[in-house]
Structure formats: structure tokens, C-alpha cells
Amino acid sequence: MNTDSVLLFDGICNLCNRSVKFVSKRDKKKIIFYASLQSDCGKQLLEQYGLTATMPDSLVWIEQGKAYIKSTAVLKLSRHLTAAWPIVYWFIIIPRPIRDAVYNWVSANRYHWFGKLDTCMMPDAALQKRFLS
């Protein structure tokens, strides 16, 4: 299993699913792999990185043997996208408690604002190749 660059996401969250599609279109090098938090692989990675006790509920970014959560995950992930998206990483200079407060607010409201699915999304054939199982 390739776990060099993995995005774990909430598979029933519409915002998270849209984020996966957004990221996959901007990952021109095709280095990012995906797994839902609800999948066996996602659960295994959470356990491997010691995140089962805090069980993230939206995104986890795994890169070079380290796992990042909340705003740090989003910012570190942005460095791997095309166009101007790597500029987003500059927000890392904002203190983490402030960044995470914004992240937590969006995360807490994402089902209300964007809805959720009854089951995890089914990726199209091209994206399926980059899903870990």
C-alpha cells in the first residue's frame, strides 16, 4: 500500500467528497492516494498514526511518514496542487489555534451546509485507481 501521500476523508460528507474530486483534478503528478475514514484502510492508517483516540472526522493528510489534521492538513496538501494553490500554504504563518478554530467551525457545519450521503461515495474509474483498499 502506497502511503507516501494519502488524503483520508469523511466518505459520507459531500464537502469532503467534492474536496477529493477538486484535489484529484489538480494533482497533475498523480501522487496523491485516497481512502475514506470509514474504510478498513482508513481505519488502519488512523491506528498506524495514533489517531484512533482523537478520531478525526473530516480530513487527514499523510505525507512522508507523518499525519496532519485540521488546518495543517489542508495547508500541507495545498503545496501539491497545480496553479496558484501552493500559495495557500502561506496561511501556515497564522497561529494554529486560529486556523483550527476556522477549520472546526466549517467542519462542525459541513453536513448542514453541504449535506451527507447514506454511504461512502463511489469514485469514477479514473479516480478509483488512486483509492487505497
Of all residues in the chain, what percent carry a pLDDT higher than 90?
Answer: 54
Strand order in the sheet with 59-63: 33-36, 5-9, 59-63, 66-69
Strand, coil or helix: what is 24?
A: helix
pLDDT digits (tens, 9 = 90+) for 2-31: 568 999 998 888 888 889 999 999 998 889
Of all residues in the chain, what percent carry a pLDDT higher than 70?
Answer: 90
Nearest to 42 by CA among 72, 20, 14, 22: 20
The whole-angstrom separation of Cα 74 and Cα 79 is 9
Nearest to 9 by CA among 92, 123, 112: 123
Q: What pLDDT score was predicted for residue 58?
A: 79
pTM of the model: 0.88
